[in-house]
Amino acid sequence: MLAYMSKRVVFLVPILIGVSFLVFLMIHLVPGDPAVMMLGERGTPEMLEQLRVDLGLNDSILTQYYRFLKKLIHFDLGRSVISNVPVNKEIGDRFPATLELTIFGMFLAVIIGIPAGILAATKQNSLFDNASMVVALFGVSMPVFWLGLMLIWLFSVKLGWLPPSARLTVGVDLLSITNIHILDSLLTGNLRALFDTFGHLILPAVALGSIPMAIIARMTRSSMLEVMRQDYIRTAYAKGLNSRIVIYKHGFRNALIPVITVVGLQFGSLLGGAVLTETIFSWPGIGKLSYDAIMARDFPVVQGSVLVIALIFVLINLIVDLTYSIIDPRISYS
């Protein structure tokens, strides 16, 4: 397994270099001038030209990319063109918010999607099966931005039950230790901040987790149906085993590998694909940071955000691959 892990880690280097080059190229092909974005209407032609020289924007794309790679070797993602803050710090400050939202959204997706898929498979063609698959199809097809706006309109504007945006209500104090508000609330014993954080998390987590929930439910049902038709399942029933033991111990465990694969891929996708959700709910995470950076033509922040997201996605895929041998001991790595 160690050799397999080492090989996968080595493959990270060309993947990240390829991702960085594609992102670098696409960003520079987008119309607009960062110098104009920074100076605005106050900028004279002389000031704009001087700023382009200072930022190296007049150099060729390959020269700028080479300069970026030299910094990347030392884990330096550069500085934000707009705020002049190191990109490492920008991402480090925002990433805990995205991680908190993603974990909560995936938690909702898993605890609802997997049981729904199991019940749908064990009650195939029943009313519950048909209804759950219709809901899953609706969840997959529903745009996240539309669902987010509808949730805000219903639960915040009309009913007033939940806050529409941000991570914490103004006036609620919380000592930041990890910048993960739930964890910080528990570490400091701040119950008011804990409940307030949960209240702010619910709507964006539901919006973010709706598509993964539907995908997980459909994959669980499909995998369970395939397993439940196997001979060893019929043998287990013939031996008189309790149906709960047959379903969860013999059926679900053998159907778990495709489900784990989907959960891992969706978790990685949410970490990098929460741009719409974070923008709609004004959630100060890496998705919102990427959106703002794209709008402001802040090249270093966009490049750094995409590289971090790509790295996390590949690492999550590696972790998922390694869990296969835990679920099924017959799987070995060479």
| pLDDT for residue 1 is more than 90 | no
CA atoms within 13 A on the CB side of 180: 14
The rounded percent of the chain whose pLDDT value lies above 90 is 12
Task: Yes or no: say if 102 and 287 are a contact pair by the CB < 8 Å rule.
Answer: no
Position 74 in a domain:
no
**Residue 153: what pLDDT?**
92
> pLDDT category, 276, cuts 50, 70, 90?
confident
Position 88 in a domain:
no
Task: Yes or no: say if 273 and 306 are a contact pair by the CB < 8 Å rule.
Answer: no
User: What's the rounded mean pLDDT across residues 292-302?
Assistant: 82
Q: Which domain holds residue 222?
A: 96-327
Identify which of 95, 68, 79, 32 has the alpha carbon closest to the alpha carbon of residue 271: 95
Task: Yes or no: say if 303 and 290 are a contact pair by the CB < 8 Å rule.
Answer: no
For residues 167 and 162, what is the distance between their CA atoms, to the nearest angstrom?
12
Q: Is 87 exposed, middle or buried (0-12, 13-18, 19+ CB in 10 A)?
A: buried
| pLDDT for residue 140 is more than 70 | yes
Position 264 in a domain:
yes
| pLDDT for residue 273 is more than 70 | no
- 66-109: pLDDT as tens digits: 888 888 777 888 888 778 888 889 998 888 999 899 999 999 99
Number of domains in the chain: 1
- 205-261: pLDDT as tens digits: 999 888 889 899 989 999 988 888 888 888 888 888 888 888 887 788 888 888 888
Q: What is the mean pLDDT of the chain?
A: 83
Position 22 in a domain:
no
Position 23 in a domain:
no
**Residue 32: what pLDDT?**
66
Position 86 in a domain:
no
Distance of CA 46 to the CA centre of its chain: 43
Identify which of 316, 305, 317 has the alpha carbon closest to the alpha carbon of residue 23: 305
pTM over 0.85: no
Q: What is the CATH number of the domain that holds 316?
A: 1.10.3720.10
**Residue 205: what pLDDT?**
92
Position 256 in a domain:
yes
| pLDDT for residue 51 is more than 80 | no
For residues 2 and 244, what is the distance between their CA atoms, to the nearest angstrom?
37
**Residue 176: what pLDDT?**
84
Crossing angle of helices 299-327 and 61-73, in 10° steps, is: 50
Position 44 in a domain:
no
- 305-318: pLDDT as tens digits: 888 888 888 888 87
